[in-house]
Amino acid sequence: MNAAVAIDRASVGWLGLLIGAVAALPWYAVGAFGESALVLGFADRPWLLPVVGLALALAGLAARTRDWRRHPALLPLVTAAQAIFLLQAFAIGLNGPALPLVGQIFPTAQAGQTGMGAGAFLAGVALLGLLSDGLAARGFCRGERFASACVIVIVALLALFVFFPILKLGAAAFTDENGALAFGPCIERVTVRNLWGLACFTSRLSCGVVINTIQLGLLSATLATALGLALALLVARTDFRFKRVLRALSILPIITPPFVVGVAIIVLFGRSGVLTQFGAELFDVRPGRWVYGLPGILMAQVLAFTPVTFLVLLGTLEAINPTLEEASKTLGARPLRTFSTVTWPLLRPGIAATFLLAFIESLADFGNPIVLGGGYDVLSTRIFFAVVGARYDLGNAATLAMILLALTLIAFRAQTRWLGRANYVTVTGKSDAGLVAPVPPMLKLVAVAVVLPFAAFVVAVYASVLLGGFVTDIGRLDMTPTFDHIRTAFSFELEAEGLRLYGSARDSMMTTLWVSALSAPLTMAIGILTAWLVARQDFAGRRAFEFGTMLSFAIPGTVVGISCVAAFNVPPVDMTGTMIILVISVVFRNMPVGMRAGIAALAQIDRSMEEASQTMGAGGAQTLGRVVLPPIRPAIFTALVYSFVTAMTAVSAVIFLVSARHNMATAHIMGRVENGEYALAIAYSAVLMIVMAICVALIQLVVGKRQLGRRTALTAAAQPAE
């Protein structure tokens, strides 16, 4: 009885929110407090009255029916209200009706309507709550009201902030200069010669932008996979003395802003770079500009993507059953034959997965091509200049973005297939008590010969980053220590009112910290909730739900940014130029990371703990908060710190969404690079890296203590009493 009363109260709460939203709160973002849907509907906005009428109909149903959540009319009424809610929002834009018929039915719609306000947003939330209640009453998510609400809300968020922008961007690709629907311009944009040209293979002319993008992706993925494999073999299968140093060096690029590596390469290998000048004097040659173009971008991407391939391949190596290799050795096989016939076949799926992952990352990369591209155009930079260049051409940017998205989805599909095969092939045998086979001596020498130059290159890059911000001009070898660059970016004064911050980078740093601090817990919370739904709940459409959440990770950041511009620059949801859109773009770009971390942690927890909680009468929310979350706190903190670091270094998505009022650190660094202020850009990047390193160290310290404490407790509990 108490549970039924609680459920009824919650449902009445959703209904009360809906009535209040349509009757009292401002429906439009620019409206006054009294301009609700009810008031405006009887004034000059009659298309709002059906929403008000359906809200009153739901209130009447609740008043007449005791158990109205199970009433057959509830879901049809809620569905009709949602449909009319969306129609009134999208059928009339800022400049008038989208269709002539709407203008004929509602003449006052010619004046248009602005974006949704608090009343409209809360009405949409209330309708989602009522829908989840009605579905739970019909058995959705086994009748668990909290789980049903989570599924409905997450699906709505994905639809609004992931799929709607992509559809809006796709529609923009099929419009002409006047905004009218036209297929001819799209066909012309797709078939232009500078997209698909192959002249670089037969002459000294450049290839098309799409061919350049694919070529760069293949080269970058090949080299990053080879380096990652060499690193993984040295760390996991040899007695190499400097394993910890290699791990640290390989992880550094993860906390590096996208432009830093490109700037460091310019400082080292540019026409007036440190190593270029040294080589010119040593070999008496004239310095060139070879670093601008494919070689420079390739160097930067390999440095950036090798840590990812290394971590994936290291996990693959550690997952191989050592009993199989030990059996091969027992049968008399030499180390090289054991590696080629046992280890290598088990590694191939992992290698294919890392290759495809690096290929996807190369397609989506924006920071390195914009700094080092020169005349080597790729899709991400071409999209950027189509939007922020001398001529704003959203149609061309949308067409290029659709091509980039198609390439990424093809690679993503191939990656998921290979990952599935990898999980199946490497799990062989029941015993894992054997000793792992060391790398054959010849392969060890090859790995050392490959890894040591890479490690030296990483050290040179980060030495230039750390020194470049604190010397006068590292590019001209003026190594006089100075803090002028730091003062220019982050100067401050102590006054009577307190600490006052100045400097050119102050605003962008504060915005970046705010965006990261807001987006990281949201990313973690949505990701963990999604993981709990996928791993622990059974509902119709669960596989499609999981695929939809992972699909957002496959969308390149450049496409995310330009699609947000296309979708949220005009009503009904106009948020461009605000901090909210920056937070949203980061959250739904990184949400799958928290989801995968949660799924991996939940796989180690027995369901019986949750079943016992539910048997004792706890609801889904109580079970999640008191039983599920405490054991997976390390995964929560890991997702939190990854989300924070990724938000701090985001560039490809947010570069289209920053404004003069809300600028991000990476966008500010990019502006300094474009102006040739490399020392200031390096100084800012060094501060940014220090901030992120401190955050990562603190989170890892907390995670380590929690893991150690848990193991100690379990060990003590397992010991027999004396």
Q: Mean pLDDT throughout 137-149?
A: 90
Taking Cα atoms as reference points, which of 652, 653, 640, 634 lies closest to residue 706?
Answer: 634
DSSP 3-state of 79: helix
pLDDT at 423: 43
Q: Mean pLDDT throughout 223-242?
A: 89
In the CATH scheme, what is the code of domain 195-481? Answer: 1.10.3720.10
pLDDT at 692: 83
Is residue 124 within 8 Å of 25, Cβ to Cβ? no
User: What one-character DSSP code corresponds to residue 522?
Assistant: H
Q: Mean pLDDT throughout 67-73?
A: 86
Out of 370-379, 407-416, 640-649, give the one with best mean pLDDT: 370-379
Predicted confidence band of residue 515 (pLDDT cuts 50, 70, 90): very high
Residue 420's identity, in one-letter code, is G
Q: Mean pLDDT throughout 403-410?
A: 89
Instruction: State pLDDT tens for residues 640-686.
Output: 877 888 888 888 888 889 888 889 998 888 888 888 788 888 888 88
* Domain 501-714, second-level architecture: Orthogonal Bundle (1.10)
Q: Six-digit token pair at 283?
A: 């070999």
Contacts of 234 (CB under 8 A, 6+ apart): 240, 243, 246, 439, 444, 447, 448, 451
- If you count them, how many residues does the chain have? 722
pLDDT at 387: 85
Is residue 605 within 8 Å of 632, Cβ to Cβ? yes
**Separation of alpha carbons 667 and 651, rounded Å:** 7
Q: Give Cα separations from 200 to 212, 345, 562 (angstroms).
A: 9, 35, 29
Angle at 106 between CA 105 and CA 108, to 5 degrees: 155
Confidence (pTM): 0.83
Instruction: State pLDDT tens for residues 197-219.
Output: 988 888 888 899 999 999 999 99
Instruction: State pLDDT tens for residues 332-370.
Output: 778 888 888 888 887 887 788 788 888 988 988 888 999
Taking Cα atoms as reference points, which of 637, 185, 675 lies closest to residue 394?
Answer: 185
Q: Mean pLDDT throughout 361-387?
A: 89
pLDDT at 718: 44
Token pair 């500078």 is found at 194
- Calculate the average pLDDT of the chain: 83
Q: Mean pLDDT throughout 463-491?
A: 80
pLDDT at 217: 95
Instruction: State pLDDT tens for residues 146-195.
Output: 999 999 999 999 999 999 999 999 888 888 776 677 888 888 889 988 89
pLDDT at 71 over 70: yes
**Separation of alpha carbons 308 and 409, rounded Å:** 19
**Separation of alpha carbons 594 and 16, rounded Å:** 34
Predicted confidence band of residue 415 (pLDDT cuts 50, 70, 90): low
Instruction: State pLDDT tens for residues 306-329.
Output: 887 887 788 778 767 677 777 777
Instruction: State pLDDT tens for residues 420-451.
Output: 544 433 343 344 555 667 788 888 899 999 99
**Domain limits, CATH 1.10.3720.10, in the chain:** 195-481, 501-714
pLDDT at 461: 84
pLDDT at 8: 65
**Separation of alpha carbons 718 and 520, rounded Å:** 37
